[in-house]
Each structure stands twice: as C-alpha cells, then as structure tokens.
Amino acid sequence: MIAVTMMLTRIPTTAALSVELNFSPGAQLWSTYINHFRNQLNLFVSHLTESHMKVVLLTSYFPPHVGGVEVHVERVAHHLHKRGFEVVVVTSSASGTAEFPFEVKYVPCIPIPYSPITPFLGRFLEKLDGDIFHSHTPPPFFSYSLKKSPHVITYHCDIEIPEKYGMFPIPKTVSRLIIKKSDDMLSKALDRADAIVATTKSYAETSRLLNGRHYHVIPNGIELSEFEGVEAEKEPIVLFLGRLAATKGVDVLLRAMKHVDVEARCVIIGDGEERNSLERLARELNVNAEFTGFLPRRKVIEYLARASLLVLPSLSRLEAFGIVLLEAMACGTPVAASDLPGVRDVAREAGFVFPPGDHIRLGEIINEVLSDEEKIRMIGNKGKKVVREKYSWKVIVDSLVKLYESLV
C-alpha cells in the first residue's frame, strides 16, 4: 500500500511541502515513480516561493560604478530576478545610472570618495516594503540606517583607510576617527541583523566585528557563461586587473618585475587616482609595463586567458576576497595574491600567496611560474575545476535563497 500526503502552507511569501511515503515490500518501482513525483512537486513549490518573494538589496554603490561589491550585488540581483523574485536595488546617486531588468532606486547623496554621504537615507528606507532586506557593507550607512526585518547583512570587509588619496595624505587621527565611527555603526547594525553573511571563513575569524558572532559563509561568484569556450595560447604576460588605488599594491608588482629574469611583460588593466604615480614608478624602475586603462569586457577576458599569471598584490584588508582571482582561474590562469584573510582562501585553490608588500617573494613566484609551461597548464586546469564546483552564481544564489527562506 502506498500512502501519499501533501501539505502546502502559504506564509506570506513562502511555502512548505512535506510528502510522507510508506512502502510495502516489492513496491520498488512505485517508489521510483513517487520519488520522482515528489521531487517535481518540491521544485514546483520552490518556484512558487521564489516568484512571490520581494527582495530589497541595499548597497552604497552599484554599477556602472566600478568595484567588487558592485559586481557582487548586481549579479545577485540578476539571478534572483531571473528566478522570478521581485527585486529592488537601493543605492546612492553616486553610482551613476544604467538600464537593468529590475527596479533600481537612487538615494540623493554627497559623493565623497569611498563612502557617499546620504543625509535623507533613513527617511527614504522607511517607505520601503519587502519580504527580505539584504544590505551590503561597508560603507556602513545603508546597513545601519535600515530598521526593517528580516534583515540580512553581507559583511564584505572591515573598514580600512588608505594613507593617502591620490597625492593627498590622510592624517592618521582622521583615519582613526572614521574607523571608530564606522565600527560603532556597523556593530549596532550587526546586533540587529537577522542573519550575517561572510564571504570566507578566514576573513570572518580575523575581523574586528565578526569574530565571535554567528555568521553564514557564502562566497562571491562569477558568471561561468562569460568564460565558456575561452581558449588562448599562453603568453609571458603577468597581469593585474583592478582599480589603481594605493591599497591595491600595484607598486609591489612593479618592484617585483625588476627582479624577474625570465621573459615577461607586465600588463596593468584599470584606472584610478594612482595611475600617474605608478606610470612614473615604472619608468624609474625601467620595467616592461603597459598601462591599458579600462578595456571592454571581452578584451579583458582575452587578456585573462592569454596571461600566464594573474597577480593581486593588495596591501589592505579592504581586499577581502578577490573576484578577479576567480575570473583568472575560470580562464585556466594561475594566480598569485597577497596572503591576506579571505584572499588566501581563494588564491590557494589554484596558485600562490606571498606576504603583503614582499616584492622579492613575488618576483620569485613570477620566475617560477613563467619558466614552467607544464606548471601553468596543471594549475590552470585545477582552477577551472574549482570554479565550476564552488564559485558559480547558481551555487551562490542557491545558498542565499535557502537563507532567505529560513527567515521569512
């Protein structure tokens, strides 16, 4: 005898399905049919859950503004929208505007570097409605100002202030004051949050604010479809891809190139306030370095595929993950990165780490990798496999959806 009971419960925006099966001996064939039926019902109910849930994503910056958090939030929004969620993104007017298939709301702001000031943010957020509110920090203002629930906070990194902005030094007393105020705001926001997400375990364990708190580890991801069919013959290119800011440590890479004794060309893709000083340093060191500025996305991927090594020489905990490492791995390119919490978790999957600022050790890694074509191939193949299994956006968003459903 086969007994099937099904319960479908609607709690404003979610559904629960339970199927209980009792099989008599010899009913194996029926068992197979019923299990298939149950799986299809669960998929159907999951779709109903997703398509009726409204998710509000809050972030200080959003594309076309350039940055890792910006890309992360846009991809989360894209994949939630694709699954049938109603998605609303709330960001500052400093982000700039572009067309998206979901709604984007812009909060007026004072566009100061790194952290736009939004004086009317609290009043703006009071008017929002949704089933899940998911903010991304730093900066702290959006997470701190939101007083709605359920609230998920993805804590991307601790607040760090660079020693200078372009040619202008930032006094340490000012840096300490900004960090203290930001930490106080974030601590209060984290206390109120219904769930906290960290992108790596090692970063959370060493964070000023996350250490000792309960958190979920859900990493960053990349769009695998962007890299399908990308093949190129490896060239002796050492590649950097990112914003040319003091915390990115591009000067460390240039100094390392001075100690490279194999054929190598350094290509630096990106732009920023440090570009002029870095170009001047390259000339002073007399190293073979090309500064391309910003390039079209397709051209960037071509460089990622052609390079023999991608370097992420960041100096600060502001670099908490390194999405560019995943992009290089997806192209079969080995990586070398500063031994920073979070970054090391990713780089060690298919590459090397070196002490932050240690241009001598980085030079040794460049010599080791570029002199061994077989090593490049083996590490590259390992990277491709790791990215497929752990860092696709499907895997990441599946984890987020489970977390959302546990809270509504």
Q: How many CB atoms lie within 10 A of CB 123?
A: 10
Question: Measuring CA to CA, how many Å separate 52 from each of 17, 49, 135, 382, 386?
Answer: 16, 6, 20, 39, 33
Q: Are residues 62 and 210 in the same domain?
A: yes
Angle at which helix 297-306 crosses helix 323-330, to 10 degrees, equals 70
Is 213 part of any domain? Answer: yes
Q: Are residues 123 and 255 in the same domain?
A: no
Mean pLDDT in consecutive groups of 10 residues from the start of the chain, 408 residues:
38 42 54 61 52 90 88 95 96 92 94 81 92 95 95 92 72 88 95 96 94 94 90 95 92 97 96 94 96 95 97 90 94 97 95 98 98 96 95 95 96
Q: Are residues 399 and 360 in the same domain?
A: no
- What pLDDT is recorded for position 21? 46
Is 76 part of any domain? Answer: yes
Is 117 part of any domain? Answer: yes
Q: Are residues 191 and 240 in the same domain?
A: no
pTM: 0.76
| CA-wise closest residue to 142 among 176, 100, 94, 97 | 94
Each residue's pLDDT tens digit, 93-151: 989 999 999 999 999 998 877 778 888 898 899 999 999 999 999 889 999 999 999 99
**What CATH number is associated with residue 325?**
3.40.50.2000
| Residues 138/115, Cβ–Cβ less than 8 Å | yes
- What pLDDT is recorded for position 1? 40
Q: Are residues 24 and 43 in the same domain?
A: yes
Q: Are residues 243 and 190 in the same domain?
A: no
| CA-wise closest residue to 201 among 217, 190, 213 | 217
- What pLDDT is recorded for position 175? 84
Give, for 289, the enclosing helix (H) or strand (E). strand 289-293
What is the dihedral angle through the alpha carbons of 271, 276, 279, 280, rounded to the nearest 10 degrees? -170
Q: Are residues 264 and 171 in the same domain?
A: no
DSSP E strand boundaries for 47-131: 54-58, 86-92, 103-107
Count the domains in the chain: 3
| Residues 244/278, Cβ–Cβ less than 8 Å | yes
In the structure encoding, which two tokens stand for residue 282, read together? 């390259």
CB burial of 338-365 (b: ≥16 within 10 Å; e: otherwise) equals bebbbbbbbbebbbbbbebebbebbbbb
Q: Are residues 256 and 380 in the same domain?
A: yes
Q: Are residues 97 and 86 in the same domain?
A: yes
Is 226 part of any domain? Answer: no
Q: Are residues 349 and 253 in the same domain?
A: yes
DSSP E strand boundaries for 138-206: 151-155, 164-165, 168-169, 195-198
Is 90 part of any domain? Answer: yes
Domain extent at residue 300: 231-390
Give, for 374, the enclosing helix (H) or strand (E). helix 373-390
Query: What residues does 222 pair with on adjacent strands?
Result: 392
Give DSSP secondary structure letters for 3-48: EEEEEEEEETTEEEEEEEEE--TT-HHHHHHHHHHHHHHHHHHHHH
In the structure encoding, which two tokens stand for residue 253, read together? 């890479």
Q: Are residues 396 and 386 in the same domain?
A: no
Give, for 204, the enclosing helix (H) or strand (E). helix 201-206
Is 308 part of any domain? Answer: yes
Q: How many CB atoms lie within 10 A of CB 299?
A: 12
List % helix, strand, coil for the chain (3-state, nearest 5).
45, 20, 35
Q: Are residues 401 and 374 in the same domain?
A: no
**Phi first, then psi: what are they for 377, rounded to 5°?**
-65, -45
Percent of the chain with pLDDT over 70: 86
Report the Cα 71 to chain-centroid distance in Å.
7
Is 299 part of any domain? Answer: yes
| CA-wise closest residue to 355 among 333, 375, 369, 336 | 336
User: CA torsion sign, 318 to 320 to 322 to 323?
Assistant: negative
Task: Determine the Cα–Cα distance for residues 146 and 135; give it in Å rounded to an integer.
Answer: 8
Is 248 part of any domain? Answer: yes
